[in-house]
Structures are given as C-alpha cells and as structure tokens.
C-alpha cells in the first residue's frame, strides 16, 4: 500500500475530520475525506412528537446554533401545510442572518485567517508602519494608532516568549507559504482579538428573539417571542432598540474591518485564485423568504443548481423528487437493506451503522481502507452529480440570477484583486464569497428590522399561528421537508409522520455534501476534488491542505455524531 500524507484531525474546525492525500511527486494525485465520528440523531428522533424534534435536532451542532432548529420546524410545517405569520418569518430571517454574520466573521478570523497570517512574524512589525497600513486599508476604523499596535505586539510577545502560544499554538509559523509582511500580520492579529470581543454582543439577537444562545428556542407555527410594547417580558421598544444596536455594530465591523482585511490579505495570495476548485457544480436550496417558504419566488437567496461552472443556466431543484436528491453509502460505514450500491432519497433514508463490516480499521491505524467504507459521512448527490454547497454556491447563484448588490460586490472584488471571473471557482474565491455574502446579509437585516417595526406600528403583533398545533388536526400519515441555507450551505431535514409521531427522520447537512466520500461510481466529493493537484512544499507541514479545507468552513459535528465503541448512549437530551 502506497504511503499517503495524513492530516488527522484537521484542526480549527467543528468535529473530527481526517484527510489522506495520495501523492504524485510533490503534488496530490487523489485525496480522501473521512468523518471519524458516527452519526445517530435520526435514531434518537424516531417515535417522538414532531413538535419537539427541533429541540433535539438543534443539538446536532452548537456553532451554527439555530440552523437545525429552523430546518426541523420547517420540515414539520411543510408536512402539515402550516403557514406562519409574517412577523414570525421576519424574526426567523433576522435570526438566520445574524447567524451568518456572526459565523462568517468568526470563521475568517479564528478558523481560517491563521492559514494566511503568520502570527509569530507579527513580532517583527513596526507599530508605526502597522498604523499607517491600517489607516490605508480602513481609514474609518478607530483602533489604528501606533500605540494600540505597540500594545498588541507586547501582548503577543509575552505569549511567544513564555512558550505558551495558547490559541495560536501548533501553527506552521515561518512556513514559506506565508506571504504577508510583518505589519499586515500584526494588523490581522489585532483584528483577530477584536473579533473575539465583537462576537459577545452580536449573539444578543438570538437571546432577544429566542431566549438564549447557544440553542435559541423555536416553535412549530411561528416563533416563541410575543410582541407587546407594554410588557417587560415580551418584544418591546427597548428590545427592538437593542436589535438595532446589534445590527449597527455588525455593519460597522463588516464594512470597516472584515471586508478591507479580506481584500488586503487576498492581494498577497492571488495565486490561490487558481487552486482548490472542487467539483465545479453548485447547489442552493434557497432561503430568506419575504412571503413564506411556500413562495420560492420571494426568496432573497434563489434555489437552483449550476453545473460545470456554467453561470448562464440555473437548473431547478425539487426537494421531493426521489430522482433528484439521494444519498449513497458505497464508501461509508453504513448498510442499506437493499444493497450498499443503492441510492436513497431521504424520505426513504436508512441509518444502520456497520463500521466493522464495511472495512472500518481498528484504531490506531496508519491508513484508511479506501476500497470499502472510509467515512461516517454519506455521499449525497443531485441527479448523480457531486455538488458544492455554501457561500460560494450562494454568491454564484445570486450573481447568475442578477442580484444587483452581489454583482456589484463581486465585480468590485475581481477588479480590486485584478483577477478573472474564473478565480471565483477556487480556494480564494470561496473565502472571498463568504465575506461578500456577509455584507449582503447584514444590509438585508436592516430592511427586515424596519419592516418588523412598521408591522408593529400598524397593529400587527402576531407571531404564532395556533390553527394546526394540536395533533388531532393532522392527517394520519404525512411527510415534509424543511430546508434552509445555513452558513455552511444547503441544509435539509426530511420527516415522515405517522399517527402523530416521527416514523423516519433524515438530515442531509452542508458538510455531508462537501466532505462526503466517493460514491459508487468513484466520483469524489468536493473536499476530495478540491485538493487534487495541490503541491505540498513540506508534507510534514501541509498548510496547503488546511487552506483549501478551511475555505469550506467544515462542520463535521453537523455531519456525524458520537457513540462509544459498544454503541451505547453517551448522553441524553431532556426537553421539559
């Protein structure tokens, strides 16, 4: 067996991901992506009340802390043809967009920026020159004095000289792939620390509308946040003013720090506009409706598929068509009852674990058995195509469909960096798309908040539709799909309800689409395809692998779940 370069675990992500790279000289010929924790949430949900499903499903992940709750309540509402009030839709949109802005900023600075920013190099920076650079990059941002950067440098020096890099430990500092001057590194480290402080306030939107963060509360049929301007325990004028304060703070940081930093850093890494493309196919479910999920024409993010990088044609997506979205387990540690070469639509999805029988190696092991199962992730496909989901897919969809703000932002970025439109299909393009999408989201939040206030002033305070709440009003058998665009990409939960209880439940999450293994035809998933062709300067410090994998913002916690070696339950989630 030819020895592969192994990175396990991939750090600065959620969950456990293993990448094995088969080398051809100094380049990756093939890569293999393995989620190394086992999934089980579908099994936990069988037999439960569908109205409670969101509270369990939301615990799939604590980072995208609300998205599974949203997908779950939408699945039940879709199954019951359950309409929600306009105010509830606006509040959900605000909460979803707040998750985007929070998640994207935190990903850039705390999970991905260190692939481009050499923290230790910042010790060589001149604070005066750093100040001049910062004021050039973002003239309006107040934290840019020489004294400020001198203090940041002193703080960083204490970490390094004490041998306790803490949050900056285990980096490949000094690697020749780092290209930023010392002053740019110091500026980025300062903004890294500022983003940590910034994010403490932006989560307040979730607590205002959902009671807490992480895992805010939701409700089938609406939202659990009543509106009463005269009540201290409801959404009132004070809380609406707090929402406005958070939106303002988000906009300032995105406009004055995040976007300028992305463009400044990307300018030193324009060669990455030609690496890390992936499969060249992009999928969006669509989200952020103006008139409810039943009216896709009102979605801010349109649904559709782009194939082979062809932005001139958008193919429609049917979430209920058994011939469109399917999952395979040809290289996963699961069994399908009618054979592991089958493809199953999620309504008919199965979750039968079979690690040992599908070639799972006994830990510790050197390499995966790639001829059989090698991941706890399944392989989703759209009409047989491997698809990339996430910010790049959404920005391409908005761009291709003529969304004016997105077109302006993309064209500005391409012009600023002096790169062709083809650079969008890359590691650099994926990272830039996340930043541009954040700008679109934070601006949309202001419009939704204004509409909510206008509705309240007009006397509309309804946030819950009680008509279909009681199970006696439901059909004996029904099924539905709840979908949304989570920060990391298209997320959908499919539910089958029988006699008021969950008969089957399947969640196909963004990182399953992106990180899944090869299918029965040997077609690689987006992670695997994106790594092919990468040259590694030093296989013992494979920063090139981290750059491309991190550009997807992996969340393997969403794609897999934990059990012990005997298959016993590790924890219980109780809902009161």
| Known active-site residue 64 | yes
Cα–Cα distance list, 301 to 79, 103, 108, 373, 441 (Å)? 22, 18, 22, 35, 10
Are 314 and 401 contacting, i.e. CB atoms less than 8 angstroms apart? yes
Question: Among residues 18, 426, 558, 561, which one is catalytic?
Answer: 558
For residues 218 and 54, give the distance between their C-alpha atoms in angstroms, rounded to a whole number. 7
Question: Among residues 112, 394, 488, 493, which one is catalytic?
Answer: 488
- Which helix or strand (DSSP H or E) is residue 409 part of? helix 404-417
Are 462 and 87 contacting, i.e. CB atoms less than 8 angstroms apart? yes
489-498/477-486 β-pairing: antiparallel
Among 349, 375, 354, 392, CA closest to 493: 349
Q: Return the CA Rg of the chain.
A: 23
Sign of torsion, CA 358 59 219 463?
A: negative
Question: Among residues 511, 518, 547, 550, which one is catalytic?
Answer: 511
Are 271 and 283 contacting, i.e. CB atoms less than 8 angstroms apart? no
| Known active-site residue 284 | no
Contacts 24+ apart (CB under 8 A), 304-310: 304/397, 304/401, 305/281, 305/382, 305/385, 305/387, 306/281, 306/282, 306/393, 306/396, 306/397, 306/400, 307/280, 307/281, 307/385, 308/280, 308/281, 309/280, 309/422, 309/425
| Known active-site residue 479 | no
Question: Among residues 4, 14, 327, 426, which one is catalytic?
Answer: 14
For residues 173 and 433, give the distance between their C-alpha atoms in angstroms, rounded to a whole number. 26
**Residue 375 in tokens:** 């991941």
Among 576, 389, 398, 408, CA closest to 490: 389
**Residue 170 in tokens:** 């285990």
Question: Among residues 64, 121, 327, 426, which one is catalytic?
Answer: 64
Cα–Cα distance list, 155 to 160, 171, 193 (Å)? 9, 18, 11
For residues 508 and 481, give the distance between their C-alpha atoms in angstroms, rounded to a whole number. 11
Task: Let me know how many helices (H) and strands (E) the chain has, helices first.
Answer: 17, 15
* 362: three-class secondary structure by DSSP: coil
Question: Among residues 18, 61, 104, 332, which one is catalytic?
Answer: 61
Which burial class, exposed, middle or buried, applies to 298 when counting CB atoms under 10 A from its CB (0-12, 13-18, 19+)?
Answer: middle
For residues 428 and 439, give the distance between their C-alpha atoms in angstroms, rounded to a whole number. 17
Per DSSP, the residues of 124-160 read G--HHHHHHHHHHH-TT-S---HHHHHHHHHHHHHHH
Are 497 and 46 contacting, i.e. CB atoms less than 8 angstroms apart? no
Question: Among residues 144, 550, 555, 557, which one is catalytic?
Answer: 555
**Axis-axis angle for helices 67-80, 86-106 (nearest 10):** 150
- Which helix or strand (DSSP H or E) is residue 205 part of? helix 204-210
| Known active-site residue 104 | no
**Residue 53 in tokens:** 């499903």
Active site residues: 14, 61, 64, 68, 488, 511, 555, 558
């Amino acid at each position: 067996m030819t020895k592969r370069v192994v990175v396990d675990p991939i750090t600065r992500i959620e969950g456990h991901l293993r990448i094995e790279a088969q080398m051809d000289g100094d380049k990756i010929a093939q890569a293999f992506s393995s989620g190394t924790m086992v999934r089980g949430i579908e099994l936990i949900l069988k037999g439960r009340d569908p109205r409670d499903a969101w509270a369990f499903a939301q615990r799939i992940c604590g980072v995208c802390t609300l998205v599974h709750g949203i997908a779950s309540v939408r699945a039940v509402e879709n199954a019951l043809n359950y309409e929600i009030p306009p105010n509830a839709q606006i509040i959900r949109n605000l909460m979803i967009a707040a998750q985007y802005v929070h998640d994207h900023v935190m990903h850039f600075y705390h999970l991905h920026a260190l692939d481009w920013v050499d923290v230790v190099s910042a010790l060589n920076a001149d604070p005066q020159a750093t100040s001049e650079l910062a004021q050039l990059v973002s003239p309006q941002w107040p934290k840019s004095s020489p004294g400020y950067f001198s203090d940041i440098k002193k703080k960083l020096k204490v970490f390094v000289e004490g041998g306790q890099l803490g949050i900056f430990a285990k980096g490949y500092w000094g690697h020749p792939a780092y290209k930023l001057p010392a002053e740019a590194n110091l500026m980025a480290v300062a903004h890294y620390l500022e983003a940590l402080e910034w994010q403490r306030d932006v989560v307040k939107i979730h607590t205002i509308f959902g009671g807490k963060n992480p895992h805010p509360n939701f409700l089938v049929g609406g939202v659990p946040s009543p509106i009463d301007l005269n009540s201290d325990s409801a959404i009132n004028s004070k809380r609406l003013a707090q929402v406005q304060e958070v939106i303002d703070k988000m906009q300032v940081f995105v406009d004055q720090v995040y976007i300028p930093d992305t463009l400044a850093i990307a300018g030193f890494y324009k060669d990455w506009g030609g690496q890390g493309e992936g499969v060249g196919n992009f999928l969006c479910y669509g989200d952020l409706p103006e008139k409810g999920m039943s009216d896709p024409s009102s979605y801010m993010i349109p649904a559709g598929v782009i194939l082979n990088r062809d932005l001139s044609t958008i193919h429609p997506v049917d979430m209920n068509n058994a011939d469109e979205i399917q999952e395979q387990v040809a290289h996963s540690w699961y069994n399908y009852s009618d054979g592991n070469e089958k493809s199953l639509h999620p309504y008919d999805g199965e979750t039968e674990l079979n690690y040992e029988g599908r070639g799972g190696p006994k830990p510790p092991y050197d390499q995966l058995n790639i001829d059989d199962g090698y991941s706890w992730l399944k392989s989703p496909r759209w009409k047989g195509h491997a698809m990339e989901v996430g910010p790049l897919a959404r920005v391409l969809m908005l761009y291709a469909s003529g969304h004016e703000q997105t077109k302006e932002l993309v064209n500005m970025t391409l012009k600023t960096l002096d790169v062709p439109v083809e650079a969008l299909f890359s590691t650099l393009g994926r990272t830039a798309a996340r930043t541009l999408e954040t700008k679109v989201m934070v601006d949309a939040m202001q419009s939704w908040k204004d509409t909510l206030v206008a509705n309240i002033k007009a006397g509309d305070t309804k946030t819950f539709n009680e008509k279909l709440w009681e199970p006696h009003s439901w059909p004996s058998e029904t099924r539905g799909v709840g979908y949304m665009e989570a920060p990391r990409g298209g997320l959908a939960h499919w539910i089958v309800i029988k006699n008021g209880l969950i008969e089957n439940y399947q969640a196909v999450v963004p990182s399953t689409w992106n990180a899944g293994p090869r299918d029965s035809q040997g077609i690689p998933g987006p992670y695997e395809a994106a790594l092919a062709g990468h040259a590694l300067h030093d296989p013992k410090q494979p920063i090139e692998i981290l750059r491309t994998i991190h550009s997807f913002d992996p969340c393997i916690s969403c794609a897999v779940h934990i059990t012990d070696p005997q298959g016993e339950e590790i924890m219980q989630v109780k809902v009161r």
